[in-house]
Structure 1
Amino acid sequence: MHHPLAAGLALALGLIASASATESWPKSRQQVLDASGRPLLSPSVAFFAAGTTSPLTVYSDPGLTKPLPHPVKADGNGRFPRIYLPEVRYAEQVLGPYGETLWRDDGLGSVPPTTDSGSGGGTIDPSAVASTGDVKWRMDAGILPGWVRMNGRTLGGAGSGATELASASAATAFAYLWNTFPDTVASVVGGRGTSAASDFAAGKQIVIPTMQGLVQAGLDDMGSSPAGRLQTITDLTLTAGSTTATVASASRLAIGMTVTADGISSGTTVTDIAGTTITLSQPAAAGSTGTVSGARFSLLGDAQATAQVGGDALSSLTNRNLPAVLPSGTVTVDYPSHGYVSPEALINLAFGDGGTIANVSNILIRLKGAQTTPPGAKTFSVSQPNPGGDVPVSNLSPMRLGTFYLKL
């Protein structure tokens, strides 16, 4: 019978054995040079537990029995001795001859993968090990060894000046971003060279794709048939050189959608919709006259391309967003005939039944007309002003905030 206490003891022993594993500091037996390429005189290096200011003991032998002082000083030629560290995550701080910090890199080193002590063979479980490019979310904003925050800052090698992580440990993540995404997603500061390795060696920085204020979503196809949730797919009929096109159906189309189709330039959007006729922001390419099957429209750019960004927390309604049939109303004013007084009656009121006045006929002629004849009914349109209106509407769904991290 496999006793739980025995299993716990075996796991503890395994962790102790893992902690005793060692690695040699990569800069052992190397010189630290100044800006002119000359060795610095007597630089030193201090080691700390990753993410902390707690000193980490390092050793001069692989058995980790002979501890070195903190910090470890280089010789007069700027060359460090052989330094061994336990197999853990650590930070290094290299100091110049006057104690000034030349660089401080965090999240270095490695940790042995977790093993399944219950399997008997100590086999590594691949599903328990994070790989370069993996993304995780935590409900805090801390710095994690072996991970970088997806905040739009940069990573690169030691001395690159990268704003999120400047360390040799960033090489694998640098190559992942460089080889996986175009410059529109992960741009290289100063422009891309011939390869990720050459750019990293040249001290270039690459921008970490941002997840600031964003939520994750799945590609509309994700290796299968498109779901049609983040895009609308319909046939599109083009005329070469024209910005006017027609669609088989305008249902679920919106102004501002990006169009992805043969004969359409990248970044073309819908600027107007009238029935099944749409207006494009750029004319159709030469030779594109005809119908394109399966044109795709999305507010995320291309909903089948990775790392696209779209949507907004707020939107404003315009008349184009309102239903095609709107409530309407009028006010009809009808002047009642019983309130009308004839010119003859006015004269009688002024002079009495037997009264006389010269040129009565001329007075009657002047009185009769638009001013005394009852007008017909008149209809007036009614509009209702809305002072203080035109305020944006929130599109936010309930959410909780935290930090996204990218595995180095």
Structure 2
Amino acid sequence: MAGSIAFSLTQRYDNTTHEPLDAGRLYTYAAGTTTPQSAYQDISLTIPWPNPITLDSGGNIPQLFFADGYIKIRLANADGVTQIAADYVLVLGPTTGGGAAPSVDATTIYQTGDLKPRYGTGAHTGWVRANGRTIGSATSGATESAASGNQSLFEHLWGADANLTVSTGRGASANADWVANKTIALPDFRGRVIAGLDDMGNSAAGRLSATYFGAVATTLGNAGGIEGALLAANQIPSLTSVNATQAISVTSTSVDIARSGSSQPSTGGPAAAIGSSGNVTSTGNNSISVAYTNAGQVGSKAVQPTMLATIYLKL
């Protein structure tokens, strides 16, 4: 099979004069060597070009064909001064028309179900937003995307996450539900960050527990965490106030105390009232207690520094 190179059918200019490369010369070699390798005028590789190829007055390079692989090139002006030199130039093809398309390494491209953040909003060809809406066939009535091109992602999600809702319930298989024009809900990443499953094929790391995450952290698609919360009484740190028992002494001013009754002198004189005066002192202990009252009851923030984009799923 044959192919061409990017130089084919282009116009070149002198690097110094910037005029068209009139009578420029294009040399072609086997890649990585100084061995000449001819270019051809036809895809059957039966009519070779001279080597070097002389450019016309407009500096135009004619259509070139090579065997598939790589070549080495050198382009010089009419005086032999090199303008461009490159090795291992890829021959793009095949161009014979009857051959198979070139193979693509599936590990180097996005695959169905892959996630990516994109700095933009709205529809994105070949992708759907992970927004909790639905996808399905062209007649499914899906809310995010209803098109025949959704089948691969529909079946992938159906098998990957049993908790994603399928309209009217799950049937015998993903393909059966697709043929029945059902819809399936997309994962909902609105306002959420992505975290790795706590196990991912290993033993659970314990970094996300149900106690604090709020869900089982080893189940695909589970969501947890909160933006903020009010602290309950049992979440407030213990506070200790030391208050010793204090002795209190109170002394009054002078007071007269009248006592009932009278005294009768033995001599038979008039009776006299009995009375006394002096200070009154009282002592005792006083116990002091302290109460702490939260005046505001404002929620505690729990949001990490965050910048927003759109999360897409590959169809």
Q: Which residue of 1 aligns with 2:255?
A: 346
Q: Which residue of 2 aligns with 1:250?
A: none
Q: Which residue of 1 aligns with 2:299?
A: 392
Identical aligned residues as a percent? 36
Q: Which residue of 1 aligns with 2:172?
A: 194
1:150 maps onto 2:130 in alignment: yes
User: 1:375 deviation in Å?
Assistant: 4.0
SS in 2 for 1:171: helix
Q: Aligned AA for 2:293?
A: P
Which one of the candidate residues 257, 270, 287 is aligned to 1:379?
A: 287
8 Å Cα contact 1:300/1:308 also seen in 2: no
1:172 maps onto 2:152 in alignment: yes
User: 1:125 deviation in Å?
Assistant: 3.2
User: 1:9 deviation in Å?
Assistant: 4.3
Q: Aligned AA for 2:256?
A: I
User: 1:373 deviation in Å?
Assistant: 5.6
User: 1:396 deviation in Å?
Assistant: 0.9
SS in 2 for 1:381: coil
Q: Which residue of 1 aligns with 2:265?
A: none
CA distance in 1, matches of 2:234, 2:91: 64
**What does 1:242-257 align with in structure 2 at a 5 Å threshold?**
257=211
Q: Aligned AA for 1:192?
A: R
CA distance in 2, matches of 1:123, 1:158: 30
CA distance in 2, matches of 1:170, 1:9: 39
Aligned residues: 213
CA distance in 2, matches of 1:177, 1:197: 12
User: 1:406 deviation in Å?
Assistant: 0.7
CA distance in 2, matches of 1:158, 1:401: 31
- Structure 1 residues 328 and 8, CA, compared in 2 at 3 Å: closer, same or farther? farther
Which one of the candidate residues 194, 197, 211 is aligned to 1:219?
A: 197
Where relative contact order (Cα < 8 A, 6+ residues apart) is larger, the structure is 2
User: 1:360 deviation in Å?
Assistant: 4.5
Q: Aligned AA for 1:147?
A: W
CA distance in 2, matches of 1:360, 1:299: 81
Which one of the candidate residues 302, 321, 338 is aligned to 2:216?
A: 302
TM-score, length-normalised on structure 2?
0.59
- Structure 1 residues 8 and 229, CA, compared in 2 at 3 Å: closer, same or farther? farther
User: 1:329 deviation in Å?
Assistant: 3.7
- 1:185-219 deviation per Cα after TM superposition (whole angstroms, max 9, x unaligned): x1102111112222222221110011111111111
Q: Which residue of 2 aligns with 1:64?
A: none
The structure richer in helix per residue is 1
- 1:10-49 deviation per Cα after TM superposition (whole angstroms, max 9, x unaligned): 7x9xxxxxxxxxxxxxxxxxxxxxxxxxxxxxxxxxxxxx
CA distance in 2, matches of 1:357, 1:310: 92
CA distance in 1, matches of 2:90, 2:193: 37
- 1:259-299 deviation per Cα after TM superposition (whole angstroms, max 9, x unaligned): xxxxxxxxxxxxxxxxxxxxxxxxxxxxxxxxxxxxxxx62
SS in 2 for 1:199: helix
User: 1:332 deviation in Å?
Assistant: 5.1
CA distance in 1, matches of 2:221, 2:106: 25
Q: Which residue of 1 aligns with 2:228?
A: 314
Unaligned runs of 5+ in 2: 11-88, 94-101, 259-270
CA distance in 1, matches of 2:121, 2:313: 13
Q: Which residue of 2 aligns with 1:336?
A: 249
TM-score, length-normalised on structure 1?
0.46
Q: Which residue of 2 aligns with 1:95?
A: none
Q: Aligned AA for 2:136?
A: G
8 Å Cα contact 1:158/1:166 also seen in 2: yes
Structure 1: 4+ residue segments shifted above 6 A: none
> Considering only aligned residues, what root-mean-square deviation do their CA atoms show, in Å?
3.3
